[in-house]
Amino acid sequence: MIDINMENNKLIESVFTKKVKAGKRRTYFFDVRKTKGEDFFISITESTKKPNQETYERHKIFLYKEDFHRFAEGLNEAIQEIKTKHLPDFDYDSFAHREQEHTNTEENTNQENPSLEW
């Protein structure tokens, strides 16, 4: 997939995409993108289906290579804050198992109807 960055009219190629389903209405996309100048960055998109509609609302952030380490550190610190101080008794693994079941169901559906991928 190729996008055009309107700010500086450079072609941007998507070289990798990881789709993460998060419930029935929310999906995250982690896209590794390559610019015409051979540089790489990550775009993170949250896509949320609007209630009672067939349309989606999307929000994007762009993460550049010079910020990878600080971003990952900050995200991990925020997650650990919740897991250890605020919700230490919550069963986070139950969501991992549910995600695996959802992924298996989605893979079977996509094999039957490959046009369902975004």
Distance (Å) of CA 104 to CA 35, 67, 84, 93: 34, 34, 30, 17
| 86 DSSP assignment | I
| 36 DSSP assignment | T
Whether the full predicted model's pTM is greater than 0.85, yes or no, is no
How far is residue 94's CA from residue 99's CA, in Å, rounded to a whole number?
9
Do residues 6 and 15 make contact, with C-beta atoms less than 8 angstroms apart?
Answer: no
What structural domains does the chain harbor? 2-116 (3.10.450.700)
Q: Which of 17, 79, 70, 21 is nearest to 42 (CA)?
A: 17
Q: What is the pLDDT along the chain (118 residues), one digit of tens a residue?
A: 555 454 555 567 899 999 999 888 999 999 999 988 899 999 999 999 998 888 999 999 999 999 999 999 999 999 999 999 999 999 988 877 666 665 665 555 444 444 434 3
